[in-house]
Structure 1
Amino acid sequence: MILSDKQILKEIKNKNILVRPFDRKCLGSNSYDVHLGEWLAVYKDEVLDAKAHNKVNYFKIPKEGHILHPTKLYLGVTLEYTETYKYVPFLEGKSSIGRLGIDIHATAGKGDVGFKNNWTLEISVKQPVKVYAGMPIGQLIYFKVEGDVLVPYNKKQSAKYNRKTNKPVESMMWKNF
């Protein structure tokens, strides 16, 4: 079951969902629109190694925007910080973003119960396109969970993305080896 706008507002009031900053105008019929934050990152090395900690270079998107190129993977971040209890958040790109040839996630569109952070975006483009900090980039959809969650994400010892930050977070795959 996907939460409606009315139910999302109720769960925000009940502190089961937190979106900061929250703007009522961003509430859709059954989703909440999120925006591109001011930071992007690119990997330093051309060849990435799944067993190694691949470092990134961070840069702020200038006011005049930044052109993304098809040959690069960009890590972006949502402006919004979110916390979710009792629901599974899914992040999808807005249709207007898709029509510009922008993909905002490669495989990581699902959050977990207990996730507390800004969302890192794995951004790729089909052709060069200019993006701007603060532009609408995606939407969060909330799904109801059946049954109790034994250990929420923020309490898991193995959770690799619990460090709070308003910058994109690089892959932590190397921690699995």
Structure 2
Amino acid sequence: MRLCDQDIEKYILKRKIIIDPTPKIDKITGLTIDIHLSNKFRVFKNFQKNVIDLKESPKIVKFALRENISDEIVINKGKSFVLKPKDFILAMTTEKISIPNNLVGWLDGRSSLARLGLMIHMTSHRIDPGWSGNIVLELFNAGKSILALSPGIAIAALSFEKLSGPSKRPYNIKSKSKYLNQSSIISSLIYKE
């Protein structure tokens, strides 16, 4: 069962869901909270190694991924990030989210942005029970127009679903919690699996 706006407000007031900065009430509608684009982006370079073979040893995959395949860019106030058609980048939310072990969060794109061709996640729209940090977005421009992305825009909506009970193994106690408490845009850590 997804939480409605009233329940989301209660969870936030009781600090069961922690969102920093705390959203204004008018940003909680129906069953979602608007979340916003930060000024940090990670752009992939055209790098030498065209294939990252995920069957290779973790050491080789780690080297391939750490081989300066991307750069973090910080956009100054009043500027926008230009996302060309068919470009893929990583971005981050302004808000830091902490979810208790009896909820799962769901990240969804905004319809108005999707109608321009902007995808905000490729597959990872689940926010695990016990997770905490800034959400990394996987932005892809599937449209035909260049999109100017301004930090601070409402980029996505977050909803919460109640689990049948508290999770026995929430994200914050797993030994392989690769992205817990992320406050910067972390590239893939698949080599840690």
Tell me the TM-score normalised to structure 2 length: 0.85
Structure 1 stretches of 5 or more lacking a match? none
Quick one: which of 105, 110, 113 aligns to 1:89? 105
Shift of 1:14: 2.1
Aligned-pair distance for 1:75? 0.1
For residue 71 of structure 1, report the CA deviation from its aligned partner: 3.5
Q: Who is 2:149 aligned against?
A: 131
Q: 1:153 aligns with which of 154, 162, 171?
A: 171
Percent identical: 27
Mapping for residues 46-125 of structure 1, pairs under 5 Å: 46=47, 47=50, 49=52, 51=54, 52-53=61-62, 54=65, 55=68, 56-62=70-76, 63-85=78-100, 86-125=102-141
Answer yes or no: is the 8 Å Cα contact 1:50–1:173 preserved in 2: no
Query: In the superposition, relative to structure 1, how do residues 48 and 39 fare at CA in structure 2: closer, same or farther (>3 Å)?
Result: farther
CA offsets 1:31-75 (integer angstroms, 9 cap, x no match): 100000110001235436254232420001242312101332100
Taking the aligned partners of 2:123 and 2:117, their CA distance within structure 1 comes to 17
Change over 3 Å in CA distance of 1:44–1:27 after alignment to 2: same
- CA shift, 1:175, in A, is 1.5
Tell me the distance in 2 between the aligned counterparts of 1:41 and 1:78: 13
* Counterpart for residue 58 of structure 2: none
Rounded Cα–Cα distance in structure 2 between residues aligned with 1:96 and 1:121: 17
Greater Rg by CA:
2
Distance in 1 separating the partners of 2:92 and 2:9: 24
Report the AA paired with residue 7 of structure 1. Answer: D
Letter of the structure 2 residue corresponding to residue 153 of structure 1? Y
Question: 1:170: Cα distance to partner?
Answer: 0.8
Cα-to-partner distance string for 1:126-155 (whole Å, 9 max, x where unaligned): 232111000110000100101231121011
TM-score where L is the length of structure 1: 0.92
Measured after TM superposition, the shift of residue 106 of structure 1 is 0.2
Assess, with a 3 A threshold, how the Cα gap between structure 1 residues 32 and 95 changes in structure 2: closer, same or farther.
Answer: same
